[in-house]
Amino acid sequence: MTIIFMKRELLYLFFMLAITACNQKSDKKGLAGATADSVAGVDHSNPTDSACCNSNLPKRYGAVTGIETLAGTEKEGLASHQGMKFIPAGSFRMGAADKEGRRDEYPAHDVKMDGFWIDETEVTNAQFAAFVKATHYVTQAEQKPDWEEIKKQLPPGTPKPSEEQLQPASLTFSPPKGRVDINDVSQWWSWTAGASWKHPQGPKSNIKGKENLPVTQVSWIDATAYAKWAGKRLPTEAEWEYAARGGLREKKYPWGDEDLASGKVKANTWQGEFPYSDKKTDGYSSVAPVKSFAANGYGLYDMAGNVWEWTADWYREDYYQGLKGQTVNPKGPKDSYDAAEPGIPKKVIRGGSFMCHSSYCKGYRVTSKMKSSMDTGLENTGFRCVSK
């Protein structure tokens, strides 16, 4: 059994319904002195590099059981690849080839891939609703925190919080009214009781008429459960990046090297000044319907922006550094280790979201990655699936 828990100070703040500030500071020393920001790869000269981290946000609370049943293999006999695109076998350079990456994006290395199928869009609310209807699945955000598990991580005698505080909740994005300290994520992330995939912004929100938007507020555990039901699985990090590149070689973005702000609108990201002023020149202030922007060379939509996407791989900052020669169908490290939070196993998330901005995080770069605990859901995180 794997225990996912918040650090002690975050638990205390949770009891007060608060959010901690991100305490990871960026490093201006370039690659050699770079810190492992947990959301997006940006230029190390940017002093707000670590501001987009989520590794110090509150996590879900209690035991995560049954991980052994969430194997990275799909069910046999998938009847249809409807809504998927076939990615042909080939080789590519994985990782950052420029100076905009963080340490976990280096070194760039050669990877050989077999062919595979991948969803052309992120899994939608309608698709996830069909899964829930068929299985009666209850997501992590809809489950009440388990005090018996929480208190095991706290000093003896810690008083139990009120029942009002131990309620199902998830993290929602709440833009501040003006300019704030970009290193304090509590200025725009809020624990919201009743927030879930059916109520992405909280209990007063819903997904009626939004069936074609990506499902959000789903943890890695939720995403993997859906994939298994659908006869698919989550993509490895290598599969995701290979597909995101769309057949292009050593380019920054799924569309090439043209800057996001140049030419036509390419993805659902943040325009203006993050996190309080979004000009919405892309037409959206939050999650956009799938297929709202042009597909990449493989016919895949939203491989940059809209919502971050879970992958199958564990997160280790030094994983690429330990690879020797060309790797074939890599499946990532055998376990997770994050020096910032060594007691919390984390999975890799890719692609960026509607909250990404060049002054804050460039998560829409094809090599950029985020790390998050398996039981955490966010308003800007979803997934897509793959199959052989």
- Residue-wise pLDDT for 21-50, tens only, equals 233 333 333 322 222 233 333 333 333 333
**CA 137, chain centre distance (Å):** 21
CATH number of 1-72+85-388: 3.90.1580.10
Estimate to the nearest angstrom the gap between the alpha carbon of 372 and the chain centroid. Answer: 7
**Rg (the chain; Cα; Å):** 19
Give the C-alpha separation, 194 to 200, whole Å: 9
Stated pTM of the model: 0.85
- For the chain, which residues make up each domain, given as ranges? 1-72+85-388
Average predicted confidence (pLDDT) for the chain: 83
Q: What is the structure's pLDDT at 118?
A: 98
What residues are paired with 91 via a beta bridge? 112
CA distances from 81 to 77, 84, 230 (A): 11, 5, 11
pLDDT digit string, tens, across residues 264-306: 999 999 999 999 999 999 999 999 999 999 999 999 999 999 9
Hunting for tokens 């909250």 — which residue is that? Answer: 355
Q: What is the pLDDT of residue 60?
A: 53
3-state secondary structure of 8: helix
Q: Residue 306's closest CA among 258, 242, 252, 349?
A: 349
Give yes or no for a contact between 351 and 304, defined as CB atoms under 8 angstroms apart: yes
